């Protein structure tokens, strides 16, 4: 977008200069101006040709050189992007791309959450309970929140830990179930909800960075505000029930009526969707840890990209993880293996991948802890329709 605006401004300036010379009758000067413009255009054309030629050669060397790992990482990473998937076809055939995808899939996992594994606040507030609490010395701020920095080999990340899961809710741009064409920046969504922090949440229509329409399902305070569970393949609901337990639910085969019944019978209070699909057109994944068991990966499992993930510990505390990537601070991003390792280290019993890429962002106390990787959204985010928000501590 900045490049387009810059090009339009240059065109307007050149047009204005030509118009001035024409109206002033200085045709000789106009000829000189047109000659100068022609030379500039030629220089730009040569520069762009050299740039894209060098870029193409670099991709070919990377993907068809001696390193199979580099080729795999490039293809799996680029397939996770919203607008750059076509680059995979620049260097590999459809058959080669599918072969790479097939070798780097994740094993299917049972996402039926065992709610008995989560005991909210057990032993944390009762020293006489006799139960060992590994988080007894953990310190939180006045809102029951702590934020820690994490440095990985190919990424930088921040982990937000929320002690009380009842503080985590859905925040959206919906007005009584009506979704506009445009979403809002994460900090705006959080502020409008009266929350003090949060991260981006579910899958949505991101074309043109309008961000107004979610995909799949959205539940806010027990009310369904978006209900198309069969709109995409591989949709999973990620959210909380009335007992404040994180639920990860496969929606395959569910109709809108089925989902309404599920929300009612299972007491789902706040939730949204992300997609599980491994193909040559998409490479999305959801479940990371299920009932304490890490998901089994084949090969790399995924590419390296900016990520947003959610988890819950045995004591009920909620984990929000956001990483950078795509060149931000020189970082490529985090893989599925990275996310699983971090969530295990922080004690997650259940954990899921959320929408990532340029959407990945984290806000706390009106400031961006982690912002979009796109340079012109350095201190904001992409337009979003949904977010996981953290309400102030009562």
- Pick the residue with more confidence: 174 or 377? 174
pLDDT at residue 123 tops 60: no
**Which residue reads 């009762």 in tokens?**
126
Mean pLDDT taken over the chain: 83
Q: What is the mean pLDDT of residues 346-362?
A: 94
Give residue for tokens 């991260």.
Answer: 199
| Predicted pLDDT of residue 343 | 98
Region at 269 (left for phi over 0; alpha for psi -120 to 50; beta for the rest)? alpha
pLDDT of residue 147: 98
Q: What is the pLDDT, as a whole number, of residue 87? A: 73
Span 168-200, pLDDT tens digits: 999 999 988 899 999 999 999 999 999 999 999
Q: How many CB atoms lie within 10 A of CB 357?
A: 23
* CA distance linking residue 254 with residue 365, whole number of Å: 38
Q: How many angstroms separate the CA atoms of 382 and 359, rounded?
A: 6
The phi-psi region of residue 38 (left if phi > 0; otherwise alpha if psi is between -120 and 50; otherwise beta) is alpha
Question: Binning pLDDT at 50, 70 and 90, where does residue 7 land?
Answer: low
Per-residue confidence (pLDDT) for residue 372, from 0 to 100: 73
What value does the mean pLDDT take over residues 204-217?
90
| Full-model pTM | 0.80
Per cent of the chain over pLDDT 90 is 51
| Pair 120, 316: CB distance under 8 Å | yes
- Give residue-wise pLDDT tens across range 62-92: 556 556 677 777 777 777 776 677 777 766 7
259-294 tens-digit pLDDT: 999 999 999 999 999 998 765 555 688 999 999 999
The two structure tokens encoding residue 36: 């100068």
């Amino acid at each position: 977008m900045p490049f387009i605006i810059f090009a339009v401004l240059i065109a307007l300036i050149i047009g204005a200069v030509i118009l001035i010379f024409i109206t002033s009758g200085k045709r000789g000067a106009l000829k000189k101006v047109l000659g100068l413009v022609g030379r500039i255009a030629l220089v730009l054309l040569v520069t762009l040709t050299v740039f894209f030629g060098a870029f193409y050669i670099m991709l070919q060397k990377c993907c068809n050189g001696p390193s199979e790992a580099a080729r795999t990482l490039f293809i799996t990473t680029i397939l996770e992007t919203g607008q750059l998937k076509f680059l995979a076809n620049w260097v590999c055939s459809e058959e080669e791309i599918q072969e790479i995808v097939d070798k780097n899939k994740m094993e299917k996992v049972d996402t039926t959450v065992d709610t008995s594994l989560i005991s909210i606040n057990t032993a944390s507030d009762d020293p006489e309970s006799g139960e060992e609490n590994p988080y007894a010395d953990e310190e939180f701020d006045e809102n029951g929140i702590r934020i820690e920095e994490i440095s990985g080999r190919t990424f930088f990340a921040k982990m937000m830990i929320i002690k009380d899961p009842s503080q985590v809710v859905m925040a959206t741009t919906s007005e009584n179930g009506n979704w506009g064409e445009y979403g809002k920046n994460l900090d705006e969504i959080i502020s409008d909800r009266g929350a003090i922090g949060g991260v981006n949440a579910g899958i949505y229509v991101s074309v043109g960075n309008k961000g107004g329409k979610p995909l799949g399902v959205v539940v806010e305070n027990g009310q369904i505000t978006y209900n198309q569970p069969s709109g995409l393949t591989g949709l999973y609901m990620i959210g909380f029930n009335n007992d404040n337990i994180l639920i990860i639910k496969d929606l395959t085969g569910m109709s809108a009526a089925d989902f309404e019944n599920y929300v009612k019978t299972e007491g789902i209070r706040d939730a949204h969707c992300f997609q599980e699909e491994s193909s040559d057109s998409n490479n999305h994944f959801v479940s990371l840890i299920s009932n304490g068991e890490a998901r089994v990966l084949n090969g790399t499992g995924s590419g390296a990209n900016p990520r947003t993930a959610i988890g819950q510990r045995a004591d009920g505390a909620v984990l929000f993880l956001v990483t950078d990537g795509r060149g931000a601070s020189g970082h490529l991003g985090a893989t599925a293996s990275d996310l699983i390792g971090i969530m295990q280290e922080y004690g997650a019993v259940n954990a899921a991948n959320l929408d990532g890429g340029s959407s990945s962002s984290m806000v706390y106390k009106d400031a961006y802890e982690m912002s979009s990787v796109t340079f012109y959204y350095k201190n904001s985010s992409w337009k979003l329709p949904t977010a996981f928000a953290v309400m102030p501590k009562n």
